[in-house]
A and B are shown apart, each in its own frame.
Chain A
Amino acid sequence: MKNKIFTILLMGVFALFSTSSFAQTEESQTGAVPKSGNEVVKKVKKDKVEKKDEVRTIIKSNKKEINQDVDKKVKDIKKDGENTLSDGTNTVVKGAPKIDEEKTKLDKKIKEKKENSANDFGQETAKLARLKEMEKKKQLKVAVKNGNEKVVQAKDRIKVAKEKLSLEKKNMTEEAYNEKASKIEKAELYIKKLEDKLSSAGKVKQ
């Protein structure tokens, strides 16, 4: 029963389609002239729309073809790598890179560089700091050496100055003597201070 109903329905649908197609063909074959102006305008518009649609479909199909062609070429390049490709008019020059491999290599390199730069930053800074420290130590060494020399010179000078002062004591006023003596004392104090600084610097230097 159901099958019968289904077949009847199908036949009905076929019948409908066939009548509509017949009607269209008849109209197009006879070139039935529309009765009113509105109908003419409608027909022209319909034709225009149809033409546009046709153009669109052509462009679409062309685009599809072009895209397919490009995809195929890219695939071939990926596949063949360094081989030459030609499709009659166009040829791909030898040495075309294997895109995927190149990309992965590049990514790997970038990653490695990033990691190295992150690690190198600290090491480089530490290296620079060590160099600076060495330089400063050298400078200090020179300063300590000069200071020690200066201390020896100063001690000699003070010794001479003291001897001179003791000799000149009789010929000098008390005020002048005291002034000179205080100067010598001050110098001795400074020498002591400098010696302390030099010895502490020697400890730091090591």
Chain B
Amino acid sequence: MKKSIFIGILVALVALSCVDDSKKKAEEQKKLELQKEIEAIDSTVVELEKINEDILKSTEELDELLKDL
């Protein structure tokens, strides 16, 4: 009887630790995904800024050229 109770407690503890581990892993996975998403967005933002600046610069240059015509 005592043995079975002891085994039951052990099993419950192991199950609890497993559940906790899976929860932690899921949270970490979520964090990693978010981190990747943020990095991707940041790089896109940098790219957009660069294109925007490039377009503005080209437009200004074209304006200057048109003035001379």
User: A residues touching B (Cβ–Cβ < 8 Å)?
Assistant: 119, 122-123, 125-126, 129-130, 132-133, 136-137, 139-140, 143-144, 146-147, 150, 153-154, 157-158, 161, 180, 183-184, 186-187, 190-191, 193-194, 197-198, 200-201, 204-205
Nearest chain B residue, comparing its CB with the CB of A191: B62
User: Per DSSP, are chain B's interface residues mostly helix, strand or loop, or mixed?
Assistant: helix
Across the interface, do A144 and B55 meet the contact criterion of CB distance under 8 Å?
A: yes
Across the interface, do A136 and B48 meet the contact criterion of CB distance under 8 Å?
A: yes
When distances are taken between beta carbons in the complex, the residues of chain B under 8 Å from A143 are 52, 55-56, 59
- For chain B, the count of residues having a C-beta within 8 Å of the partner chain is 28
A183–B16 Cα distance when bound, in Å, is: 78
Across the interface, do A190 and B55 meet the contact criterion of CB distance under 8 Å?
A: no
Q: List 27 A-B contacts (CB under 8 A).
A: A119-B27, A122-B30, A125-B34, A125-B38, A126-B37, A126-B41, A129-B37, A129-B42, A136-B45, A136-B49, A139-B48, A140-B52, A140-B55, A143-B59, A150-B63, A161-B69, A184-B69, A187-B62, A187-B66, A190-B61, A191-B62, A193-B58, A194-B55, A194-B58, A194-B62, A197-B55, A205-B48
